[in-house]
Amino acid sequence: MSRFTKKIGWQKYEDYIEKQLSSPILGTILQNIAEQHAGAMPEDYEEDEEMEDYDSMKSSMMKMGPMVPLTNQLIEDISILSSFECWIGHTNFDITLDVKDKLNRVPGVEVLKIFSRYRFFVGIGQMFDFQKVRNDIEKAIIEKENDDDRRVHKYKDWKSVKRR
């Protein structure tokens, strides 16, 4: 009988941000926005000379390619990246309130954000070693829960044997 083993996969937050920014879909959307913006006629268009300047500017904008807008979220992400060692944890189990509480209690976890049912963000304090914090997280969440699951499973097996 195979047993479910809980796991956490780790991804550097910089890689996550870079993947989002270099997404082909994002590039296509930004390119379309740039084309629409560059294709708009200026309100004060009157002379051919102004139109030539405008065409030159439009051509330059298209050569540069799409520019990523500096949103408040991007500025916040950059700020967090410069203050903490940032990681995303990908799990194959639910991140419950109990799991969140355990993550918050691990020394070195200075910032914690639950992204989804299976994904969380941790910012590790500057004075902590990520490898140690990672091991502490895995011990607090995975090993204890896997041990609890084994005990419950053994109890169920013992209970079924005893009834026979």
Dump strand ranges (E) for 24-149.
85-91, 109-116, 119-124
3-state DSSP percent of the chain in helix, strand and coil, to 5: 60, 15, 25
Q: Is the pLDDT of residue 44 over 80?
A: no
Residue 128 CA to chain centroid, in angstroms?
21
Query: Which range among 61-65, 91-95, 125-129 shows the weakest confidence by mean pLDDT?
Result: 61-65
SS3 160: helix
Local confidence band at 91 (pLDDT 50, 70, 90 cut-offs): very high
Arithmetic mean of pLDDT over the chain: 75
* Residue-level pLDDT at 122: 95
Q: What is the pLDDT of residues 64-86, one digit of tens each?
A: 555 556 677 766 766 677 788 99
The C-alpha atoms of residue 68 and residue 80 are separated, in whole angstroms, by 19
What is the rounded CA–CA span in Å between residue 133 and residue 112?
A: 13
